[in-house]
Chains A and B, each alone.
Chain A
Amino acid sequence: MQPAIEQIRREAASLFLEGGLTHDTIPGIAKQLKKIAALDVEIIDISGVTKLDSAGVGFLDQLLEHQFHGASLTHVSEKQQQALDAFSSKHHQLPVAHSDSGIFEKIGGSVYSLRHTISELVLLVSEITFWSAVGIFNSNGRRKGSVFQQILLIGSNAVGIIALLSFVLGLILALQSAAQLRQFGASIYVADLIAISMVREMGPMMTAIIIAGRSGSAFAAEISSMKVSEEIDALRMMAVNPIRYIVVPKFLAITISMPLLVTLSMVLGIFGGFIIGVSYLDLTPVSYINETLSILTLEDLMVGFSKSIFFAGVIVVIGSYYGFKAEGGAEGVGRVTTSAVVASIFAVIFLDAIFSLIYMV
Chain B
Amino acid sequence: MNSEPVIEIRGLVTRFGERTILDDIDLDFFKNDVTVILGGSGSGKTTLLKSILGLVNSDAGDIRLFGQEFNLEDEASVNATLQRIGVLFQNGALLNSISVLENFAIPLEQHTKLDQSLIKQMASVKLGMVGLAQAAHQLPSELSGGMRKRAALARAIALDPELLFCDEPSAGLDPITSAALDDLILTLRDQLQMSIVVVTHELASIHRIADRIVFLEKGKILFHGSVPEAKSCGIEVVENFFQAGTF
The answer to whether A86 and B139 touch (CB under 8 A), given A27-B114, A58-B122, A92-B128, is no
Given known A-B contacts A54-B125, A89-B121, A94-B123, A24 and B112 have beta carbons under 8 A apart:
yes
User: Which of B121, B136, B139, B159 has the most chain A CB atoms closer than 10 A to its own CB?
Assistant: B121
Say whether B174 faces chain A, with CB atoms less than 8 Å apart: no
Tally B residues with Cβ within 8 Å of A: 33
Point out the residue from B124, B137, B191 that lies within 8 Å of A86, measured CB to CB. B191
Distance of A63 from chain B, by nearest CB (Å): 10
A80 smallest CB distance to B (angstroms): 12
State the CA gap A53–B108 with chains docked (Å).
13
Q: Is the beta-carbon distance between A82 and B97 smaller than 8 angstroms? A: no
Query: CB-defined interface of B1-21 with A at 8 Å, one 1/0 digit per residue?
Result: 000000000000000000000
Partner of B160, one of A54, A61, A97: A54
Q: For chain A residues 294-314, which have a beta carbon within 8 Å of chain B?
A: none
Q: Is residue A213 within 8 Å, beta carbon to beta carbon, of the partner chain?
A: no
CA distance A279 to B141 in the complex (A): 61
Q: Is A135's beta carbon under 8 Å from chain B?
A: no
B118 & A62 in contact (Cβ 8 Å cutoff): yes
Q: Are A95 and B136 in contact (CB under 8 A)?
A: yes
Q: Say if the beta carbon of B36 comes within 8 Å of chain A.
A: no
Given A93-B133, A94-B123, the answer on whether A55 and B191 have CB atoms closer than 8 Å is no
Interface mask (A161-198 → B, CB under 8 Å = 1, otherwise 0): 00000000000000000000000000000000000000
Distance of A83 Cα from B188 Cα, bound (Å): 10
Task: Tell yes or no: B208 within 8 A of A by CB.
Answer: no
Q: Of A22, A95, A332, which is in contact with the most chain B CB atoms at under 10 Å from its CB?
A: A95
- Could you tell me the distance between the alpha carbons of A53 and B191 in the complex, rounded to whole angstroms? 9
Task: Tell me, in angstroms, the Cα distance from A57 to B134 when the chains sit together.
Answer: 21
Which stretch from A255-263, A268-276, A323-331 is at the chain B interface? A323-331
Within 8 A of B (CB), among A33-74: 53-55, 57-59, 61-62
Which residues of A, 77-132, contact B by the 8 Å Cβ criterion?
Answer: 82-83, 86-89, 91-95, 97-98
Known: A55-B122, A332-B141. A91 touches B128 (CB 8 A): yes
The chain B residue with its CB closest to the CB of A82 is B191
Tell me which residues across on chain A come within 8 A of B192, comparing CB atoms.
53-54
Which among B127, B134, B136, B191 has the highest number of chain A CB atoms within 10 Å? Answer: B191
Interface residues as binary, B134-156 with A (CB distance below 8 Å gives 1, 0 otherwise): 10110111000000000000000
Q: State whether A55 touches B118 (Cβ < 8 A).
A: yes
Residue total for A at the interface (Cβ-Cβ under 8 A): 33
Q: Which residues of A contact B113 (CB under 8 A)?
A: 27
Pairwise interchain contact B112-A55, C-beta atoms closer than 8 A: yes
Let me know if A23 and B108 touch, CB within 8 A.
yes
A27 to B160, CA, bound (A): 17
A62-B121, A88-B125 known; A23 and B133 CB under 8 Å?
no
A330-B95 Cα distance, complex, nearest whole Å: 10
Give the chain B neighbours of A327 by CB distance below 8 A: 141
Cβ of B120 under 8 Å from chain A: yes
* Residues on B with beta carbons closer than 8 Å to the beta carbon of A83: 191
Check if B73 is an interface residue, CB within 8 A of chain A.
Answer: no
Residues in A neighbouring B160, C-beta threshold 8 A:
22-23, 53-55
Contact with A along B97-115 (1 / 0, CB 8 A): 1000100000010011111
**CB nearest neighbor in B for A23:** B112
Task: Decide yes or no whether B71 CB sits under 8 A from chain A.
Answer: no
| A98 touching B112 in the complex, CB below 8 Å, given contacts A55-B122, A62-B117 | no
Contacts of A26 in B (CB 8 A): 112, 114, 118
Are the C-beta atoms of B137 and A92 separated by less than 8 Å?
A: no
Residues in chain A near residue B112, CB distance under 8 A: 23-24, 26-27, 55
What's the least CB distance linking A29 to chain B, in Å? 11
Give B119 Cβ to nearest chain A Cβ, in Å. Answer: 9
Contact B122 A54 (CB under 8 A): yes
Interface residue? B187 (CB, 8 A): yes
Is the CB–CB distance between B133 and A92 below 8 Å? yes
Cβ of A27: which chain B residues have Cβ within 8 Å of it? 112-115
At the interface, yes or no: B96 with Cβ under 8 Å from chain A?
yes
| Cβ-based interface call for B126 (8 A) | yes
B137 contacts which chain A residues (CB < 8 A)?
Answer: 94-95, 97-98
Query: Are B125 and A58 neighbours in the complex by a CB distance under 8 Å?
Result: yes
Of chain A, the residue at the smallest CB distance from B66 is: A1
Which residues of chain A have C-beta atoms less than 8 A from B124's C-beta? 89, 92-94
Q: Contacts of A57 on B, CB cut-off 8 Å?
A: 125
Set of chain A residues within 8 Å of B111, measured between Cβ atoms = 23
- CB of A30 within 8 A of CB of B136, answer no
Smallest Cβ-Cβ distance to A59: which chain B residue: B118
> How many angstroms from the CA of A94 to the CA of B102 in the assembled complex?
13
- Rounded to whole angstroms, the CA-CA distance of A89 and B121 in the bound complex is 7
Contacts of B141 on A, CB cut-off 8 Å?
327-329, 331-332
Tell me the complex Cα distance, A87–B188, Å. Answer: 11
Contacts of B120 in A (CB 8 A): 94
If the complex has contacts A89-B124, A92-B127, are A55 and B114 also in contact, measured as CB distance less than 8 A?
yes
Given contacts A55-B122, A95-B137, A329-B140, 19 further A-B contacts (CB under 8 A): A23-B111, A23-B160, A27-B112, A27-B113, A55-B114, A58-B118, A58-B121, A58-B122, A58-B125, A83-B191, A87-B191, A88-B125, A92-B127, A92-B129, A94-B120, A94-B123, A97-B137, A329-B141, A330-B96
19 sampled A-B residue pairs with Cβ under 8 A? A22-B160, A23-B108, A23-B112, A23-B114, A53-B160, A58-B122, A86-B187, A89-B122, A89-B125, A89-B128, A92-B125, A92-B133, A94-B137, A95-B136, A98-B137, A328-B96, A328-B141, A330-B96, A331-B141
